[in-house]
Homo-oligomer: A and B are copies of this chain.
Amino acid sequence: MASQGEKGELHKKIDQLEKENRRLRVLLDVANSLQAELELDKLLFKIMEEVAEILDADRCTVFLYDKERNELWSLVAMGLQKGEEIRFPADKGIAGHVAQTGEILNIPDAYQDPRFNPEIDKKTGYRTRSILTMPLYNKMHEIIGVFQILNKRNGPFTKDDENLLAAISQIAATAIENAQLYDEQVKSLDSFIETLSATLDTRDYITAGHSRRVTEYTLALADAMGVDEEFKRQLRYAGLLHDIGKLKIPESVLFKADKLTPEEFEIIKLHPQVTREILSKIHFQRKLKDVPEIAATHHERLDGTGYPEGLKGEEIPFGGRMICLVDVFDALTSERQYRDRAPLEKVWDIVEKETGTTFDPRCVEAFKTIPAGRIIEIMEHQRQEDFNQAEIERLYQVPIIDIIEIKRKAPESRTPQESEILETFDKYYWRDY
């Protein structure tokens, strides 16, 4: 016969085990969930949401420690706009105190604590009550950030909350470090491609800045078409690298300001093929696998008379057709040593004449809808500090085709508004500022 006491003990044990079980399940869920996200900003957002929910609190913020600048920062904070960043010296406020000392602070009433800085509450109208703040350590036991949880729903944070958060911190810290390492790698490749492209751009005084502008126009066109982020990333790399094949064209031909001989033109025409050869040797990640093909087809023409392959219509990847259009647009609207940019309406006459033969009509249609302000920003990038922002914003209200059509009208048949917007546009197009 079991005594009542014995039974009580057993029930107590079961309660304990069940509690521990729930705790382990939560941790395992957290581990699985965090592990699945390798992109730093998404990961941080996920951590903040999950931890607030698990601890039944109102808000959670992960502050990361930026060692070089000795600052704490948070990329996306709950209650702020996505993309906003908070950044402050690593010795300020509660989070700073925790980052400096490694102490865990469990504060039941923020306004009773002298370390609490009520400034942010004043700005945001939020009312902080309880705070739980805990350091985040990496494997080498260096502080890499701070967890801050605000306003537990029922009373202050408990010792159990502290323990659970400590266990979550471990899991989160590794996930954050992985995401940071991944992020660094992505940034390395990205900055390498961008720097190389910019270097090649400045090397050629005739077409200085060409690859950069082609890339920006292509992305403007992509936005006009509403393509997805993954395709945009491919377009960006293909744009930056489309002329990399020119590395193997002799400068005496490449930088010749005069008209090329037919033989020299044949040499120039080798460059998209060389672009393909170079890019196809690069181990692009799966999401970027079309970059070489897009970059290498920017001189193909819809009717099959382009080079190097003479591809026709749908044989040309859509990204190649996009770059083909903006490449010509940039060539015609760029200054040259020996001439100013061509008048925009003449440029567009040429584009329209070639629509359906050289250019894909869908690209041309979408290009028309790009805001004139964006075109000017790209075209005149190097003079951006002289821009009048109000005027540029005004030009953002008008698609580029409207400017072209106003230009095509006889001056006397333009409305005053039309004359005014055209004057603003021409001011930048002809650099009269």
Q: Which of B192, B202, B203 contacts A189 (CB 8 A)?
A: B192
Q: Does A139 contact B (CB under 8 A)?
A: yes
Q: How far is the CA of A278 from the CA of B193 in the complex (A)?
A: 11
A390 within 8 A of partner (CB): no
Q: Which of B7, B17, B284 contacts A14 (CB 8 A)?
A: B17
Tell me if A's interface is mostly helix, strand, loop or mixed.
helix
Asked whether A186 is an interface residue with its Cβ less than 8 Å from the other chain, the reply is: yes
Determine the chain B residues whose CB is within 8 A of the CB of A2 once the complex forms: 1-4, 6-7
Task: Indicate with 1 or 0, residue by residue over A276-317, a CB within 8 angstroms of chain B CB atoms.
Answer: 001001111110100000000000000000000000000000
Instruction: Kindly list chain B residues whose C-beta atoms are within 8 Å of the C-beta of A1.
Output: 1-4
Interface string of A20-52 (1 = CB under 8 A from B): 110011011001100110100000000000000
- Distance between A182 CB and nearest chain B CB, rounded to angstroms: 6
Chain B residues closer than 8 Å to A181, beta-carbon distance: 38, 182, 285
Which of A77-85, A167-175, A329-337 participates in binding chain B? A167-175
- Cβ contacts under 8 Å, A4 to chain B: 1-2
* B189→A185 contact, CB < 8 A: yes
Residue A13 at the chain B interface, CB threshold 8 Å = yes
Contact of A28 among B31, B189, B247 (CB under 8 A): B31
Does A355 count as interface, using CB distance less than 8 angstroms? Answer: no
Q: Within the assembled complex, what's the spacing in Å between the Cα atoms of A129 and B181? A: 42
A58 and B199 alpha carbons, distance in the complex (Å): 56
The 8 A CB mask of A367-388 against B (1 = contact, 0 = none) is 0000000000000000000000
Cβ–Cβ contact A283 & B188, under 8 A: yes
Cβ-based interface call for A10 (8 A): yes
A423 within 8 A of B: no
A282 to B199, CA, bound (A): 12
A284: nearest chain-B partner, CB-CB? B188
Stretch at the interface among A96-104, A149-157, A248-256, A411-419: A248-256
A86 contacts chain B at the CB level, 8 A cutoff? no
In the complex, A203→B251 CA distance in Å? 11
Roughly how many angstroms separate A25 CA and B27 CA in the complex, as a whole number? 10
A224 to chain B, nearest CB (A): 29
Check: A260 CB closer than 8 A to any chain B CB.
no
Looking at the complex, which one of B7, B17, B187, B252 makes contact with A7 (CB distance below 8 Å)?
B7
Q: Is the CB of B247 within 8 A of A285?
A: no
Q: Which 5 A-B pairs have the closest CB atoms?
A: A185-B185, A24-B24, A17-B17, A31-B31, A191-B283
Q: List chain A positions with a Cβ less than 8 A from chain B.
A: 1-4, 6-7, 10-11, 13-14, 17-18, 20-21, 24-25, 27-28, 31-32, 35-36, 38, 139, 170-171, 174-175, 178, 181-182, 184-193, 195-196, 198-200, 202-203, 247-248, 250-252, 278, 281-286, 288
**14 extra A-B contacts, CB within 8 A, seeds A20-B21, A28-B28, A188-B288:** A1-B2, A2-B4, A10-B11, A17-B18, A21-B24, A24-B25, A36-B174, A38-B181, A38-B182, A192-B192, A192-B193, A198-B281, A203-B247, A203-B248
